[in-house]
Structure 1
């Protein structure tokens, strides 16, 4: 039995190392690419865009987002702002109209979720604004805020031919507590140590929730927005990569969003994300697998997507489960032997310590390179570095529950009311 346990632990360690080793190359590329060359393009075409915002009871924050869009360093006549107030019971629609947006109100208790709201709004635009000839659509959440050069920077890469683009995701409330900091630090890592290396290598990036740009031809081809799983962002990313699209990343386009403050909110949100990843894997997993072995240009991107929707957490859990099983078995049945109990306990402790160190290292590297962009007191920056691995560990029970529980989309309340000036001044 002891030989089996040791062999199993070694196998999982080797498997984990092999399939995710490329992520360490990403970190190296991200860390060594900080001295970025300036874009010296003499002329960039300015394209016409529609901004799409899906909002559910967001009266507190939506006005500041619209203000940050209207204050962009980009010609205002080339930007139209559309809001779908989806099943709202507050004054979101009124606040959005007062701020200068074109607002549609949607009430549908059967088809609930951001995907359905986006599709409804795209349908209205296709019917009533087809003469506007929008070349691309920016998609934001109501709690977002944009740096004044956001659209200008995204436009540069759009003009170079990227038909789908994602941006640098920063946080409005990194400083609030260990939960908001945990989210924020991971999103910063995702931007600069996953998407940035992918961009450098010419591989496809992934969209993370919000702050992305889609070419109008893709929306027309799809007949609107056809992604309705619980994580419509990763579903869209996977579907585009399978079809051969290369999703670009614009690190100079900075967006701020609000992270959940309470553990209950965080649990609900991440439970939806975990379930959504399982859904995407079940729907697109076979197509991704075919893409990997077809030897096409996007084969590695498909592999990367596969590793994204089938996260390392599941492999880690399999090791912890097996070791925990033998540990409990040994405690209940002394005949198994103290040596087995000691070995399994040591394996579990070693695994947790190893994962903590890996996550802590990821946090350290991210904090060092993104220090100036994190709006948070120095003491809290350092303190939340140590709680970051603990935040990531809380995905373990979430991932387990998501495997068995039926999960429905739930809105997350946003109450961090700040202007882009407030954030950048602090």
Structure 2
């Protein structure tokens, strides 16, 4: 897996050196801008929704071709009131208030409600804690309308509270690695990327053909990606479109958010493996194989390795560490650190001593936490299936918003 990640990282690095050419190509086309609907699902987001809508009001996109829809999904705080104030000030901002039984079911349900009320040919999605840079929608829409083979265009997200504490610094490294390794690398080599939960554009016609978002999926973005592939489209990663988002500032919030992600990915793996024989696009097999290696073989192998180590502390298993084992341990560590350094080096101001030390610390701490998290998420999913439990959506807790760094990238 680590060698495969290095392969992806090489592709991500090469892509980072050349994607600006695409910007110049798109601008030379002078394409008329399509009508865009931005969906913002919001449940109890009073802490951040004002900053998000302020960012929407500053977008460099023709207001007559823009529609921002806030889905106030069964909130019991001031989310609705704050959103309505912006709707009164800007004609292109609208607010939908949903209540049970149609509302309060989670992000997928809120997005489906917003889709039914939208009018744009292109649908963009942003989480309620996101502050897209002014040109974000411009690049997403321009890239999608000029690429018939693309079913969706996904942008880049940066961590607005990266320097808040050690946890957010580690998450910042994780997100940069994910984007320049998994997103950019897979796009460079395989013309594949995964739709994230925010900062992406998708054709309305595709969503209507697919019947919208799967309301049973906790990782609605990954699940949607697989169905877009199955229609014969690819998903382009285009880092010119940038948004800034907030990440968990406490272990408790991180654990609950990441557990939802892991459970959602496990759901997607099972869903598409069971129905693999019905799939039209075998491209999906590449991503399914990657998820299988990650959640079963990779995490399983590490778990067995840890178990043997712990057992050997109490019971002599007559094991000896040979030269090959030492080499593999050292190579694994160096590959991990190299991937992290390459990732942060692609972003202005991120290649610092603190981030370098964070990557080393990450190998022994943050990465190990993921192991136990996946075990816990797997247990919850198995229990849900066996006892036919209803899927419950956990909304990530928000914190007071942090100002966007001055050295932001475009």
Match of 1:388 among 358, 362, 374: 362
Q: Is the 8 A contact 2:257 2:396 kept in 1?
A: yes
Q: CA distance change for structure 1 residues 34 and 281 in 2, over 3 Å: closer, same or farther? A: closer
How far 1:103 sits from its partner (Å)? Answer: 1.1
Q: CA distance change for structure 1 residues 58 and 355 in 2, over 3 Å: closer, same or farther? A: farther
2:79 is aligned to 92
Match of 2:207 among 213, 219, 222: 219
3-state SS of paired residue (1:45): coil
Match of 1:141 among 127, 135, 140: 127
Residue-by-residue CA offset, 1:364-418 (whole Å, 9 max, x unaligned): 110112234x4x9x45333323233231221000011111125732111212424
More displaced 10-residue stretch of structure 1: 195-204 or 159-168: 195-204
Q: CA distance change for structure 1 residues 308 and 273 in 2, over 3 Å: closer, same or farther? A: farther
1:310 is aligned to 292
Report how many residues are paired.
Answer: 385
1:366 is aligned to 343
3-state SS of paired residue (1:103): strand
Q: Is the 8 A contact 1:166 1:213 kept in 2?
A: yes
Q: Is the 8 A contact 1:188 1:366 kept in 2?
A: yes
Give the distance between the partners of 1:96 and 1:90, measured in 2 at CA: 12
Give the distance between the partners of 1:315 and 1:304, measured in 2 at CA: 15
Larger radius of gyration: 1
2:145 is aligned to 159
Residues 323-362 of structure 1 mapped to structure 2, 5 A cutoff: 323-326=305-308, 339-340=318-319, 342-343=320-321, 355-362=332-339
Give the distance between the partners of 1:261 and 1:382, measured in 2 at CA: 20
Give the distance between the partners of 2:179 and 2:312, measured in 1 at CA: 44
3-state SS of paired residue (1:206): coil
2:51 is aligned to 64
Q: Is the 8 A contact 1:242 1:287 kept in 2?
A: no
How far 1:283 sits from its partner (Å)? Answer: 0.8
Q: CA distance change for structure 1 residues 45 and 163 in 2, over 3 Å: closer, same or farther? A: farther
TM-score (norm 1): 0.81
How far 1:49 sits from its partner (Å)? Answer: 0.7
Give the distance between the partners of 1:351 and 1:263, measured in 2 at CA: 31
Does residue 1:253 correspond to 2:241, yes or no?
yes
1:27 is aligned to 9
Q: Let me know the Cα RMSD of the aligned residues.
A: 2.9
Q: CA distance change for structure 1 residues 350 and 50 in 2, over 3 Å: closer, same or farther? A: same
TM-score (norm 2): 0.84
Residue-by-residue CA offset, 1:49-87 (whole Å, 9 max, x unaligned): 111000111112111111211211111111111111112
1:49 is aligned to 36
3-state SS of paired residue (1:30): helix
Residues 282-301 of structure 1 mapped to structure 2, 5 A cutoff: 282-288=270-276, 298-299=281-282, 301=283
Q: CA distance change for structure 1 residues 48 and 325 in 2, over 3 Å: closer, same or farther? A: closer
How far 1:29 sits from its partner (Å)? Answer: 1.8
Does residue 1:404 correspond to 2:390, yes or no?
no
How far 1:424 sits from its partner (Å)? Answer: 4.0
Q: Is the 8 A contact 2:8 2:189 kept in 1?
A: no
Residues 121-200 of structure 1 mapped to structure 2, 5 A cutoff: 121-123=114-116, 125=117, 132=119, 134-160=120-146, 161=148, 162-200=150-188
Residue-by-residue CA offset, 1:187-218 (whole Å, 9 max, x unaligned): 22222222223333462210122111111101
Residue-by-residue CA offset, 1:80-102 (whole Å, 9 max, x unaligned): 11111112111001111112331
How far 1:421 sits from its partner (Å)? Answer: 7.5
2:388 is aligned to none
